[in-house]
């Protein structure tokens, strides 16, 4: 702690032109190694506001054979730019100098770099800087010889490194290694593998014990899957064959990994051209899908420092979480009404705006009363109420854990998740075939798809617990299997597909679910395409050139639906930005845009009496603007990183305590 305090004081005195708005690299730092009996130089990149942060992800970047601790400067610069554009999670980058050691202990034991790195250097870094102890947030990456080192370290120490990125890794097969000419062996490998009398002697037990392909062959699939792998190589590279063989080895062993082949030879240019996709992979394994983790970390720091505003909200959250600890899960198998399938594991709900026809003896078929909620649809004889209560409880518990680090909240949430999704006796089936049923008319309707929108709280909880390294592997595996089945239903079921074609908020809720599931399941490119399509499938269809939303504002609860729809589009915009798709600045030729839609709402925010549409919710237009529209605009400002309130309006005052912690107001965060 004293070392951290001293470092913080030094950083605070660094000129603001170098440190403040952007991160800062401390160069030629010294670590005194007892194992090597010499000083080891390293560079360290610290993100902006480092002195306020704790438990940061850490990336160890290993340089190539002819490189040094400055070789990561371009890679670091790209990450720094992304962080400062609020498009990448804050992390620390460590770049050690290794000379030409291949990050190994050599055969005769005269150079023990691997032992130094694992047993001295990493503990030193953890003690000196605010880096995480969590392997899920500890990354090992490298180029060429460094890629070899990264692969080897990640395989041998999966309890230290949870993510591995190898750029054109200089790994070898035994055939390729023993085919090497004598001059290349002496130049690149003799100082590590030892003097050899002939090529036949190149291959021995020491070779097999240290080459990643053969290490992988000996390790179990379970062990290898502790690490998230990204393998990049160049098609005209001497090492492209061994990288391809490692990819095949992983595929045959069912090891999850990303494998990319770039155009070019073994060169800096080939690697630099691969940064974008590699960093996208890294970002998706360090970020929350639905929230800005950098802002949430700032809130966590504020709570630790007893910030009066955030601490008060945190106290309220903990009070709610304590009550949630007593929550008894009420699974779908508890309902008294039975869906048409006769299977209690199938979710069942009634359409909220459908009522029994009082003119009919049996009340059938039910009729529409738009905006008027039938209390029958809100009871525990069906599943809507129990599902919403479950999602809300998971949300409360997961964020209470995130901000308190108290395992009891996570343990309770995981217990509830297992009952709702995994246990054979109580689990819900992965479909909404019988959502929003209408007695006398339909066993289920496309409108039911939106009722699982809040399931994203479960995905967020799983991400929070996994990053904290407290999510049991069997729960993670079972949940991904369940989500895969549900995603298949969303993509292939006729009724579900129709929900995505409604041209209003239901279509956006459909996209919201699919995109989140695709990202969680590692299918980012598919998610990116759906968001790209939303420019014309959603914005161009749902918003008029003057910003009106006709299908929402034509309802009897116009303020409610206009706010709900724009919030869904805002969340999609946030997710899209993280994937490189810009919905916020998109505009059609006839100037339809999300910005126009938000500007239209803002015209009435301070003069609700002029709102030209119907709003039958309790309290009318003014109350609904206070409870729904203003909170939506405050949260949108946070997600979009755009100050939407041009005056001194404090829209955040209408947020719940938990919403303040999830979407901290820009006007407070940016002070």
Read off the pLDDT of residues 451-502 as tens digits, 9 standing for 90 and up: 999 999 999 999 999 888 789 989 999 999 999 999 999 999 999 999 999 9
Average pLDDT (581-601) is 97
* Structure tokens, 438: 């209408």
Helices 558-578 and 630-640: crossing angle, nearest 10°?
10
Return the pLDDT at 86.
67
Say how far residue 106 (Cα) sits from the centre of its chain.
39
Does 14 have pLDDT greater than 80? no
Q: Retrieve residue 333's tokens.
A: 């198998």
Distances (CA, A) of 97 to 62, 69, 100: 8, 5, 9
pLDDT for residue 324 is more than 70: yes
Give the residue among 324, 329, 327 at the shortest CA–CA distance from 425: 329
As a whole number of angstroms, the distance between CA 30 and CA 43 comes to 9
Cis peptide bond N-terminal to 365, omega within 30: yes
**What is the average pLDDT across 298-309?**
90
- φ, ψ for residue 651, nearest 5 deg: -60, -25
Query: For 6-20, 257-271, 459-473, which range has the lowest pLDDT when averaged over its residues?
Result: 6-20
Q: Domains in the chain, start-ordered, CATH in brackets?
A: 2-284 (3.40.50.1820), 309-315+500-671 (1.50.10.100)
**Is the pLDDT confidence value at 54 over 80?**
no
Res. 671 pLDDT band, cuts 50 70 90:
low
Query: What are residue 56's DSSP bridge partners?
Result: 131
Where does the pLDDT of residue 49 fall: very low under 50, low under 70, confident under 90, or very high at 90 and above? confident
Task: Tell me the per-residue pLDDT of 618-666, one tens digit each, with 9 for 90 and over.
Answer: 999 999 999 999 999 999 999 998 999 877 789 999 999 999 999 999 8
**Least confident segment among 281-285, 403-407, 431-435, 478-482:** 281-285
How many whole angstroms separate alpha carbon 352 and alpha carbon 388? 14
What token pair was written down for 494?
A: 């006729």
Across residues 611-616, what is the average pLDDT?
Answer: 96
Task: Please state which of the ranges 86-95, 167-176, 431-440 shows the lowest mean pLDDT.
Answer: 86-95
For residue 18 the two structure tokens come to 């170098």
Which tens digit of pLDDT belongs to each residue from 526-537?
Answer: 999 999 999 999
> CB neighbours (10 Å) of residue 665?
23
Q: What is the pLDDT of residues 348-380, one digit of tens each?
A: 999 999 999 999 999 999 999 988 999 988 999
Residue 6 has pLDDT above 70, yes or no: no
3-state helix, strand, coil in the chain (%, to 5): 50, 10, 35
- Per-residue pLDDT of 92-148, as tens digits, reads 999 999 999 999 999 999 999 999 999 999 999 999 999 988 888 999 999 999 999
3-state secondary structure of 397: helix
CB-CB contact of 344 with 338 (8 Å): yes
CA–CA dist 361, 359 (Å, integer) = 7
CA separation for the pair 52, 34 (Å, rounded) = 32
Tell me if 441 sits within 8 A of 432, measured CB to CB. no
Beta carbons of 348 and 437 less than 8 angstroms apart: yes
Measured CA to CA, the distance from residue 659 to residue 317 in angstroms comes to 10
| DSSP conformation class of 98 | -
| pTM, rounded to two decimals | 0.79
- 20 pLDDT above the threshold of 80: no
- HEC profile for 298-359? HHHHHHHCCCHHHHHHHHHHHHHHHHHCCCCCCCHHHCCCCCCCCCCCCCEEECCCEECCCC
Per-residue confidence (pLDDT) for residue 3, from 0 to 100: 44
Instruction: Identify whether the C-beta of residue 419 lies closer than 8 Å to the C-beta of residue 477.
Output: no
Burial of 574 from C-beta contacts in 10 A (0-12 / 13-18 / 19+): buried
By CB neighbour count within 10 A (0-12 exposed, 13-18 middle, 19+ buried), where does 503 fall? middle
Residue 106, C-beta contacts closer than 8 angstroms, at least 6 positions apart: 112, 191, 192, 193, 194
pLDDT 10s digits, 211-233:
999 999 999 999 998 899 999 99
**What is the rounded average pLDDT of the residues 161-189?**
93
Say how far apart CA 462 and CA 479 lie, in whole Å: 9
For residue range 558-568, what is the model confidence (pLDDT) as tens digits? 999 999 999 99
Higher pLDDT, 332 or 49: 332
Residue 17 CB neighbour total at 10 angstroms: 8
DSSP 555: S
Tokens of 48: 């902006």
d(CA 352, CA 451): 11
Whole-number average pLDDT of the chain: 92
pLDDT greater than 80 at residue 87: no
Rg over CA atoms, the chain: 28
- In 3D space, the residue among 22, 297, 283, 284 whose CA is nearest the CA of residue 132 turns out to be 297
Q: How far apart are CA 333 and CA 159, in angstroms?
A: 39
d(CA 324, CA 214): 49
What is the reported pLDDT for 145? 96
State the Cα–Cα distance between residues 161 and 392, nearest whole angstrom: 33
Q: What is the pLDDT of residue 21?
A: 44
Q: Both tokens of residue 24? A: 């800062």
How far are the Cα atoms of 178, 477, 559, 566 from residue 653, in angstroms, in the given order?
A: 70, 40, 19, 20
């Amino acid at each position: 702690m004293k070392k951290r305090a001293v470092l913080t004081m030094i950083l605070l005195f660094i000129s603001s032109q170098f440190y403040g708005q952007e991160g800062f690299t401390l160069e030629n730092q010294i670590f005194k190694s007892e194992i090597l009996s010499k000083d080891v130089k390293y560079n360290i990149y610290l993100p902006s506001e480092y002195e306020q942060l704790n438990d940061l992800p850490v990336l160890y970047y290993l340089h190539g054979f002819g490189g040094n601790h400055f070789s990561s400067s371009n890679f670091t610069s790209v990450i720094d730019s992304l962080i400062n554009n609020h498009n990448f999670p804050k992390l620390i980058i460590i770049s050690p100098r290794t000379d030409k050691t291949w990050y190994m202990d050599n055969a005769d034991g005269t150079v023990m770099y691997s032992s130094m790195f694992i047993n001295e250097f990493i503990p030193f870094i953890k003690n000196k800087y605010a880096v995480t102890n969590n392997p899920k947030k500890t990354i090992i990456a490298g180029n060429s010889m460094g890629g070899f080192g990264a692969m080897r370290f990640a395989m041998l120490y999966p309890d230290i490194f949870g993510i591995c990125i190898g750029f054109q890794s200089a790994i070898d097969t035994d055939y390729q290694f023993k085919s090497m000419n004598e001059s290349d062996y002496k130049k690149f490998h003799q100082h590590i593998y030892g003097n050899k009398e002939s090529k036949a002697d190149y291959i021995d037990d020491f070779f097999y014990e240290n080459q990643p392909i053969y290490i992988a062959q000996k390790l179990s699939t379970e062990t290898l899957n502790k690490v998230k792998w990204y393998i990049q190589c160049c098609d005209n590279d001497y090492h492209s064959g061994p990288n391809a063989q490692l990819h095949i080895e992983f595929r045959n062993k069912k090891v999850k990994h990303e494998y990319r082949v770039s155009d070019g030879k073994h060169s800096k240019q080939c690697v630099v051209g691969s940064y974008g996709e590699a960093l996208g992979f890294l970002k998706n394994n360090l970020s929350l899908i639905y929230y800005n983790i950098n802002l949430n970390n700032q809130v966590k720091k504020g709570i630790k420092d007893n910030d009066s505003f955030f601490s008060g909200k945190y106290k309220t959250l903990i009070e709610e979480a304590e009550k949630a600890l007593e929550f008894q899960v009420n699974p779908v198998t508890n309902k008294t009404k039975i869906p048409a399938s006769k299977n209690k594991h199938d979710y069942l709900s009634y359409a909220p705006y459908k009522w029994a026809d009082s003119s009919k003896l049996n009340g059938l078929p039910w009729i529409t009363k738009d905006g008027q909620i039938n209390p029958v649809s809100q009871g525990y004889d069906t599943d809507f109420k129990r599902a919403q209560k479950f999602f809300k409880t998971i949300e409360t518990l997961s964020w209470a854990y995130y901000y308190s680090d108290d395992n009891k909240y996570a343990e309770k949430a995981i217990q509830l998740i297992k009952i709702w999704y995994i246990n054979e006796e109580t689990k819900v089936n992965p479909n909404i075939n019988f959502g929003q049923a209408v007695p006398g008319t339909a066993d289920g309707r496309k409108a039911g798809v939106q009722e699982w929108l809040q399931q994203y709280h479960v995905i967020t909880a799983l991400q929070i617990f996994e990053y904290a390294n407290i999510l049991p592997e069997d729960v993670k595996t079972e949940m991904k299997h369940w989500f895969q089945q549900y995603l298949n239903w969303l993509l292939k079921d006729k009724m579900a597909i129709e929900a995505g074609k409604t041209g209003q908020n239901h279509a956006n809720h459909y996209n919201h679910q699919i995109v989140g599931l695709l990202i969680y399941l590692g299918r980012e490119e598919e998610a990116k395409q759906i968001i790209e399509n939303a420019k014309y499938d959603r914005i161009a269809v749902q918003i008029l050139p003057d910003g009106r939303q006709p299908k929402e504002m034509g309802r009897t609860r116009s303020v409610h639906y206009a706010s709900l729809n724009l919030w869904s589009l805002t969340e999609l915009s946030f997710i899209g930005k993280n994937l490189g798709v810009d919905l916020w600045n998109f505009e059609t030729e006839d100037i339809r845009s999300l910005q126009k839609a938000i500007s239209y709402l803002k015209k009435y925010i301070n003069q609700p009496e002029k709102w030209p549409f119907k709003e039958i919710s309790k309290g009318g237009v003014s109350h609904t603007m206070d409870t729904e529209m203003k909170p939506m605009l405050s949260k949108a400002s946070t997600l979009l990183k755009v100050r939407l309130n041009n005056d001194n309006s404090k829209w955040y005052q209408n947020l719940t305590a938990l919403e303040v912690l999830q979407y901290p107001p820009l006007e407070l965060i940016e002070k």
